[in-house]
Structures are given as structure tokens and as C-alpha cells.
Amino acid sequence: MRLKKLNENSDKLAETLRNIFTDYGIVKTLLITGLNVFQLFDRMGDVIITPSDSYEILFHLFNNKKFEDALLKKIDHFTLEWDSTEGVIRWTYKQGVEIMESMCTPYWGGEPGTPVFTEYYTYNDKGDTSWKDKEDYIKAPIQFNSLEELIDWFNSDYILKVYKTLITHLNLYRGDYY
């Protein structure tokens, strides 16, 4: 009897948390409940994560020291940082005399994908900077069924597709200088 009551209370809590999440979004739900993002999703159970939710969750994971290992932030010679001023993920390539700066933010503006926008490339040995923009768009899932699914997608598909796109940008810039 006691186990049945506990399950009913757990189900009510999950429903309440899902309603708060749906009505107020991730940031406000975390503030209201005092839970961290992993605790919240664990207690909510099944929930659909939309593109705008995904953006907010990734922002939260990127900017919270407790969860700094949840998302990859370095691949090859690229480092990833969340630029809070512009609300974007900056990919910075640095190797030797080359520097390339790109913005690649999944679900930016609630879009169901990732705009990949390279702002500039510098080849310091020659003192040249190219301001010719390179831009691509990568499709992304329109929803996730769990926090783990979102994190797995970010650490695999997102990282790999953006990396390959940025290598293409890098090679186009190099063609101008070599």
C-alpha cells in the first residue's frame, strides 16, 4: 500500500514539474524548483524537448561549472565557448599562425538546426585577415525525448557535422593564402 502511494506522489510530482517546464521554460523551472538540470529531467520522466528548450538547456549546461564535463568543448584545434553577450557558441580555431572564428549555435533563435557562420580567418604570418564570411546551415532533430538524448546528439552529431563544415571553411580560406 505504501509503495502505491509513493508511486502516485511521484507521478503527481512528475506531472507538476512537466507543467511548470511547459509553462515557464527551463531557466525559470530550475529557479522555481531549486533542482539542477539533471535532477529536473530525472524527476519529470518523459518530456518532449523542443528547439527553443534545447537552446536554453545547452546554454545552462555550457555556463554552469557543475556540468562543465557534460558537453564537449574542444575538438582538434577548435575550442568552444558560449558567448553570453551574443547568445552564441563560438568555435575558435588556433594552430600556429592561423586563427578562425565561427559562430555555430544549435537552435539559435528557436530554429530547428544550426547556422554555421565563420566571421573571419587570420593568417598572422602574412598579416592578412579575411573578412569574407562563410555560411552554412546544418539540420538538427526537431525534438528530443530526454536530456541524455540531447547531450548525446550535441557530443556526437552536432560536434562532428560542425567540425566537418568548419574544416571546409578553413580549407577555402587557406586557398586564398597558400
DSSP annotation of 96: T
Reduced DSSP (H G I as helix, E B as strand, rest coil) percent helix, strand, coil of the chain, to 5: 50, 25, 25
pLDDT digits (tens, 9 = 90+) for 82-102: 998 999 999 999 998 889 999
Measured between its terminal Cα atoms, the distance across the chain in Å is 76
Strand runs labelled E in 64-133:
74-75, 78-83, 88-95, 98-104, 113-123, 128-130
pLDDT digits (tens, 9 = 90+) for 100-144: 999 999 999 888 899 999 988 887 766 666 667 889 999 999 999
| Per-domain residue ranges of the chain | 71-177
SS3 46: coil
Per-residue confidence (pLDDT) for residue 3, from 0 to 100: 36
